[in-house]
Each structure stands twice: as structure tokens, then as C-alpha cells.
Structure 1
Amino acid sequence: MAEERSSPENPWPVRTVARKIFDWINRLGDVWVEGQVTQLSARPGTSTAFLTLRDPSADMSMQLTAPVGVVRELQLTEGSRVVVHGKPHFYPNRGTLSLRVDEIRQVGIGELLARIERVKKLLAAEGLFDPRRKRRPPFLPNKIGLVTGRTSAAERDVLTNAHARWPGARFRVVNVAVQGVSAVPQILTALSTLDQDSEVDVIVLARGGGSVEDLLPFSDEALCRAVASCRTPVLSAIGHEPDSPLVDHVADVRCSTPTDAGKRVVPDVAEETQRVRQMRDRGRRALHGWVDREHRLLASLRTRPVLADPHGPLDRRAEDVDRLRERARRAVRNRLDSEAAGLTATRARLTTLGPAATLARGYAVVQLVTPGGEVGGVLRSTSQAPPGAFLRVRVADGTVHVVAIGGGDGRPMITDEHGHRSEEGGGGAEPGT
């Protein structure tokens, strides 16, 4: 019959819970566990040694018991990386969990390097080493975050060289453990704190040189991922030039030493002052060159005839205008004279050919006058003037009125108003008033 579930009305006693936990752990069986030794107690005269195994990437630990002979044979010390084989055991009376170890294998340098290489390939495959994701640190950061060991040579090198290059450099230093079991958790906390500080523009991880085991925290996968996820650019200055922990590949900038980090995190005030002076000199030379060039251009423009003697072209053009105006005046005058001569000749011809000149030579113009007194057309034939017709005769100095009468030879005769007669075809009628 299955055991009833616990409830407020039917709670389990402590012994029941302890027994169930004991049963669950016993079903786990044997396990292999890797970790770092943080505490070791192997008292003389005892057959059992007590150890604390810690996960370097997380704040978790486990108690171990092992034969003293196994511990002494391996010469384990605090900080050693080991792989143990054992069976978890729960003590119901004390409510504690322990791992009964029957075999311990110390992780050697070769194995550590192999594991670092596996983590390196994993991080590289995920793109954490890609140069395109790396950010350029600011030219002159407002404040520099420094994660390093307390009163360490690395801290002194970074601060001394940075202040020597830029005396006004501001730092926020966070001291952490840089080796051992507590290094990774403390560095992770320091990175998070500095990354959240709005005044910090760049973070420097600094540590002096050491063995592979000493630098092992800076190849931790969790630390590498934390550096990659930082919003603030990170400079890695771990160990010496030959040392290359994984955090160097993930950081935005790798510095060969803490001294190099102090030189690269801030500009050199002397160099920048010299650069400003050089730029000022270049600007001054460029400005002087431009002014000289423009001055020569103005001088060249001033030597041109149009600017050297601005009235000369105007005077020459004025002379041209006067000359052209005189030519136009002469042309107009000649044309007027020619037309006047032509008009005079035409007037002379008209005068010569006009009726007044003809009348002056003794001719007369005879016009028929109707009974109503209206003057008709010019008389061109004797047939147009029957006897008794009234005629108007125009001579050079006036007109006379006559009456046509018939002649003795049958030709009509013309008499004036006083009865004087003349035959047709004579030298014209006598002038009358």
C-alpha cells in the first residue's frame, strides 16, 4: 500500500523525511566528482580524512570522507584539483550529506591544459573570440575599474604607470582573490559591480605571473562568459607575455603585463601635448600658407590691366562710342542730304511738268460750266462746247468766263463776257478779268 502524501492534516515526522532522503540518495549509486580541495583534515592516528570539495565556478561545496592513506599518498593540499570516486551517504541523525570516497585522482598539468583546450574550442565555436565583437576602449575614460589582488604588484604597476602617463586618471579598485577556490566567485562579483557603475568606462583585470594552477581561475568558463557579456570594455592583463589564459582571448584588449595595461588604458599626457602642439603648428602653417596663396592671387589680380588702370578701357570705349556716333551722324547727314537733293529734283520736275508751268507758257484750261453754275470737266473737244455754252477759262494769273458762239466757217466761236470773239484753235482766249 502506497504511503499517503503529506498534508497539513497529515504531516510527516522528521524521521520519515530523513528516511526518504536516505532512500533517494542510496538509489543514486556511485559517482565520479571533480572539484577543488578547500579544506583538508587528516589527523595522525585516525583512519579517516575529512575534505571539503568546492566547485570553482559556483559557490557550492560538498563534504568528503576518505581513507587517510589515499590522501597522504597523493600529498593533497588545499587548492588541488581532484577527481574522486565514491558513493553519497546521508546521515539521518545529523541531517548531513557526505561522499564516501574510495578513490582519488589528482588532476595533473597535462589534464588541466587539455581541459582548458576543450573549453577554448567550445568558446571559439560560440564566437566569443571573434575580433568583430571586441569593442575599442575609450580614448580617455572617465573612471577606470581595476580588479586585482590586494596590495599586489599588479595593482601597483597599473596605478603607477597610468598616473605617470595621465596624472588625472581616476580608478575604482576592487580587490579580490586572484587564485584559489574563492577567486572566480569574487572576480565575477567584482565584474558585475563595476559593469553596473555608470562612471566606469573600462575595466582592467590584472594579475602578476604564476604557474598554470595559479592562473587557472582566469581560464574558467564562467569567468570567460561573464567577461564576454560585460557591457563595459574589458582589458585583460594576466601574467607575463608567455602566459595566455582564456580570458585574454575573450577580453576586448589583451595586455602583455599589468604594466602594459597601465600604459594602454590612458593616453600619455606628454605625447598628447606634443601632438596638440604639432597640430597647432600644422594648423598655423596651413593658415599662413592659405593667406600667402590668397595674397599672391590678389596681387596677380591687381596687376591685370583691368584693375591696374580701370579708367583706360572706359576711355577707349568712350572714344569708340564717340567715333561710332560721329560715323552715325555723318551717315544720317549724308542720307538726309541725298534725300533732300532727290526731293529738290523731284520738286523741280514736278514744277516743270505741273499745270502752272504750262499755263505760264500761254496755255489755258477750259472747263464747261453747267447752267446751275457748277464747273464741269476740262473741255477736250469743240463738240463739248455747243454755241451758247458757258465756259470757264483758267490762265496763269486767273480765270475768265466766256460764252461759246458759232464761227462763219461753221466752227464755233468763243466770245468773252464783253462780246469779243476768237476762233477755236487760236492762241487761246484773251485774258479777261
Structure 2
Amino acid sequence: MTSKTTPEQPLPVRTVLQMVGGWIGRLGTVWVEGQITELTARGGTVFLTLRDPVANVSTKVTCPRGVYEATVPRPVDGARVVMNLKPDFWVNRGSFAFTALEMRPVGVGELLARLERLRQVLAAEGLFAADRKRRLPFLPGTVGLICGRDSAAERDVLENARRRWPAVRFKVEQAAVQGPYAVGEVTEALHRLDADGEVEVIVIARGGGSMEDLLPFSDEALVRAVAACLTPVVSAIGHEQDGPLLDLVADVRASTPTDAAKKVVPDVGEQLALVRQLRDRGRRVAGGWLDRETAWLAAVRSRPSLSDPVREIERRAEQAEQLRDRTRRALTGSLDRAQDSLGHLRARLVALSPAATLERGYAIVQRPSGDVVRRAADVTGGDELTVRFPDDRITVVTARRDPGA
């Protein structure tokens, strides 16, 4: 129909608004989840604003008082509800709004079930894995802090951190920490601090509260923003018993804002005491090593070979002389024994020698052939014999033997 309109043939306002109303009327009803704000009642109608839990988007809703009062428990400002809405367009005013046909509060059990389903989805994607978490810097130059405006959490973090390390610097980003604007403002603050090159660690801090107050810190958009952050993030939301999903995706979880200050900034007193302990320990180790080496050196120096080298040479010379004397005595004794044995053998040979017998006045009678004549009967007259004496010999011729001799 709009293609038939021209500057010369425009449509009246009433016709255009009627067309818009017809289009909107064909949308039918829709179930919508949101957070109630600006709740007011006038006559038989309750007027409220329904805000998106994450984005900064809202719409006006008119609710018959009967529908509102039939909801148990009766919603108040800040409550999370699910509403069956019918879009309406008032042609006379050219305004758009929703009319509530049914309203249901979102109970704690349903919220917990939704959070558990979201937790499982994010865990399956690996956003809570321990291997993706980063270690905090030992002494960050600048700490980024996201907290509520003039909140106790901000004072706890700043005071405890500066008490532990007075030189620490902070960049504070104040944001809404509950309500419909919390997710958007905290996410924007996170992006600003993550883009700041001076910030080495980011702390997201909030005091305790109800589960509904802490719901922004379990929002999927904020959790994914923390997972994508390049700077290490510390979650310090609520108290020890509180457990938003932000605690699972953050690199470090602190039970309270005060605990976050302790985890992010080292205690100067503790570090000085640790330095003293390590210094004393180093001194003891070095002193013990020097004592052992000094004792070893003294023991080496006390050895005779080093304390009096000449004495050792003299001792070795004495041992050489002793060995030489022993060798001489042993050799002399062996020679003497051999000489005695040779004398005994010589005396025995002399005693057994025929020459010794001849020395006693005996003579040996031999034939020219060398045979010894042992009996007179073996000699006949005219035999030529040799008579051998100790020093010489003579040759004789035997006479005829006398038979009566």
C-alpha cells in the first residue's frame, strides 16, 4: 500500500496509524520474562515497566488489577516475572504498550534450575577449565577495581590492599552491581580496564546479598566477557556461601572483597619477614659450607705430606735404606750359605777322591790300557805297568812271579 503513496497523494495520519495497529494486532500474545520497575497502581489498573534482565531495554505494561492481585506472591519493584502479554496500539495517541493477560513470578527453584543449565552449557564449552586460568602477578603495578558506587566492597578492597602494600595503585570503575543495569555497566567497565595497558589484574567486587541481587553476576553475557578478558580477573562477589557463575570463570575466586585484596596484593610485612628468613637461611647454608670446606682444608693441611714435605721424603729415604740393607743382608746370607754348602761339597769330594787316598801313601797300578790292577794274580812276569802316585807316576816291568810268594 505504501508503494501507492506519493508526495501528491499522501495518506492521512489516521490511515497510517490504523495500518500500524492492524499489523501489531496480528502479532497475538507472547510470553516475556523481565524485571518489574516503576510499579504504580491507579484505580483498577496497575502500570509498570518491564526491563530486560541484561540489556538496557524496557517497555511499558498495563496490567488489570485483578491479574496483578491474583499473582502469588504479589510482585514488587525489582521482582523477576514471566508475563503473557498482548501488544496494543492506540491509534488516537499513536502510542504502543503491552497489556498483561497473566503474570507468574520466577521462583528461586526455577532460577536455580536455569543457572544450573547455564553452568552445564558453559562448562561443556571449557570456560571453567582449570588449564585456562592464569596466575596473578606477584606485585601488580596497577589494579583495576569494578564495584558499586561508594560501596563497602570498594572501601574493603582499597583499605586492605593499601594496608598490605601502601604503594599499590588502583583504577576504580564504579558500576551498578544489582538491578537491570548491572550486567551492562559491569561489562563495559570490564572492557575499559581490559583495554588499559597499565592494569595488570582486575577485581570485580560486591558485598553480600540475596540470590536475586547476585543474579547479574551469573549472567551469560558477563561470564563470557570475563572468559574473553586478556587480563587476569578476580571474582569477589558476596560471601563464602555465595556462588555466582562469575566465580567459576574468573582466574581466581575470593570469598570476600577483603580476601580479594589479600590475594591480589602481597603483605609488605610478610614479604620483609620472608626476605629476612631467606637471607638468614642463605647465611646458614653458606656458613655451613664454608665451615665444612675450612675443616676439610685444615685436615688436608695437617697431613704429613703437606705439613712437612721434607719429613715425608726423609721417611721414604729411610725406608729405601732399610730395604737396601735388608736386601744386602739377605743376599750376603744367601752367598754365605752357598759358600758353606760349596765347602762341604768340596770336602766331601776331596774325601772321596782317589787323590786323597794316594796322599795317605797308597798308589794305583794300571795297565797301559788304563785298567786298574786289583790283585797280584792278575799280573804276569814281564807286564808293563804304570804306578800312579799323588804327584807323578812311574812305569815298571814286573819280574817273574814267585810261586811261593
Task: Return 5+ residue gaps in structure 2 as ranges.
Answer: 320-405
Q: Aligned AA for 2:180?
A: V
3-state DSSP class of the match of 1:78? coil
**In structure 2, what is the Cα distance between the partners aligned to 1:184 and 1:3?**
41
**In structure 1, what is the Cα distance between the partners aligned to 2:286 and 2:95?**
83
**Structure 2 partner of 1:155:** 154
In the TM superposition, 1:171-186 aligns within 5 A as: 171-186=170-185
Q: Aligned AA for 2:117?
A: R
State whether residues 36 and 50 of structure 2, in contact with CA within 8 Å, keep that contact through their aligned partners in structure 1: yes
Number of aligned residues:
318
Deviation at 1:8, TM superposition (A): 9.6
3-state DSSP class of the match of 1:28? coil
Matched, 1:278 2:310: no
State whether residues 35 and 55 of structure 1, in contact with CA within 8 Å, keep that contact through their aligned partners in structure 2: yes
3-state DSSP class of the match of 2:186? helix
**In structure 2, what is the Cα distance between the partners aligned to 1:55 and 1:301?**
86
**In structure 1, what is the Cα distance between the partners aligned to 2:4 and 2:124?**
48
**Structure 2 partner of 1:343:** none
Q: Aligned AA for 2:219?
A: D
In the TM superposition, 1:236-251 aligns within 5 A as: 236-251=235-250
**In structure 1, what is the Cα distance between the partners aligned to 2:93 and 2:156?**
51
State whether residues 143 and 169 of structure 2, in contact with CA within 8 Å, keep that contact through their aligned partners in structure 1: yes
3-state DSSP class of the match of 1:201? strand
The CA deviation string for residues 4-38 of structure 1, in whole angstroms up to 9 with x for no partner, is: 38899998886676555444433322110111112
**Structure 1 partner of 2:378:** none
**In structure 2, what is the Cα distance between the partners aligned to 1:231 and 1:18?**
50
Matched, 1:70 2:70: no
**In structure 2, what is the Cα distance between the partners aligned to 1:233 and 1:267?**
16
The CA deviation string for residues 248-302 of structure 1, in whole angstroms up to 9 with x for no partner, is: 1111111111121122111111111011001111111122222222222322332
**In structure 2, what is the Cα distance between the partners aligned to 1:201 and 1:183?**
23
**Structure 1 partner of 2:377:** none
State whether residues 33 and 83 of structure 1, in contact with CA within 8 Å, keep that contact through their aligned partners in structure 2: yes
Q: Percent identity?
A: 60
**In structure 2, what is the Cα distance between the partners aligned to 1:76 and 1:166?**
47
Q: Aligned AA for 2:50?
A: L
Distance 1:165 1:10, change over 3 A: farther
**Structure 1 partner of 2:256:** 257
**Structure 2 partner of 1:61:** 58
3-state DSSP class of the match of 1:285? helix
The CA deviation string for residues 389-432 of structure 1, in whole angstroms up to 9 with x for no partner, is: xxxxxxxxxxxxxxxxxxxxxxxxxxxxxxxxxxxxxxxxxxxx
State whether residues 38 and 181 of structure 1, in contact with CA within 8 Å, keep that contact through their aligned partners in structure 2: no
Q: Aligned AA for 1:274?
A: A
**In structure 1, what is the Cα distance between the partners aligned to 2:318 and 2:22?**
129
**Structure 1 partner of 2:386:** none
**Structure 2 partner of 1:346:** none
State which structure, 1 or 2, has the greater radius of gyration over its C-alpha atoms.
Answer: 1
**Structure 2 partner of 1:217:** 216
Distance 1:88 1:318, change over 3 A: same
**Structure 2 partner of 1:363:** none
Deviation at 1:70, TM superposition (A): 2.2
Distance 1:290 1:20, change over 3 A: farther
**Structure 1 partner of 2:371:** none
Distance 1:7 1:126, change over 3 A: farther
**Structure 1 partner of 2:145:** 146
Q: Aligned AA for 1:205?
A: I
Distance 1:291 1:47, change over 3 A: same
**Structure 1 partner of 2:49:** 52
Bigger relative CO (Cα 8 Å, ≥ 6 apart): 2
Distance 1:307 1:9, change over 3 A: farther
Distance 1:280 1:315, change over 3 A: same
**Structure 2 partner of 1:308:** 307
State whether residues 31 and 84 of structure 2, in contact with CA within 8 Å, keep that contact through their aligned partners in structure 1: yes
In the TM superposition, 1:41-120 aligns within 5 A as: 41-43=40-42, 46-74=43-71, 75-92=74-91, 94-120=93-119
Distance 1:304 1:16, change over 3 A: farther
Q: Aligned AA for 1:48?
A: T
The CA deviation string for residues 82-136 of structure 1, in whole angstroms up to 9 with x for no partner, is: 1111222334554443222211111122222221122111211211111111111
**In structure 1, what is the Cα distance between the partners aligned to 2:39 and 2:183?**
21
Range that drifts further, 214-223 or 2-11: 2-11
**Structure 2 partner of 1:204:** 203
Deviation at 1:69, TM superposition (A): 2.8
State whether residues 32 and 83 of structure 1, in contact with CA within 8 Å, keep that contact through their aligned partners in structure 2: yes
3-state DSSP class of the match of 2:82? strand
Q: Aligned AA for 2:36?
A: V
In the TM superposition, 1:27-38 aligns within 5 A as: 27-38=26-37
**In structure 2, what is the Cα distance between the partners aligned to 1:288 and 1:7?**
101
**In structure 2, what is the Cα distance between the partners aligned to 1:263 and 1:155?**
14
Q: Aligned AA for 1:180?
A: G
**Structure 2 partner of 1:409:** none
Deviation at 1:138, TM superposition (A): 1.0
**In structure 1, what is the Cα distance between the partners aligned to 2:3 and 2:86?**
30
State whether residues 45 and 63 of structure 2, in contact with CA within 8 Å, keep that contact through their aligned partners in structure 1: yes
Distance 1:20 1:127, change over 3 A: farther
Distance 1:6 1:226, change over 3 A: farther
**Structure 1 partner of 2:38:** 39
TM normalised by structure 1 equals: 0.66
Matched, 1:187 2:174: no
The CA deviation string for residues 156-201 of structure 1, in whole angstroms up to 9 with x for no partner, is: 2222221222222211122222111221111111111111111111
**In structure 2, what is the Cα distance between the partners aligned to 1:47 and 1:116?**
36
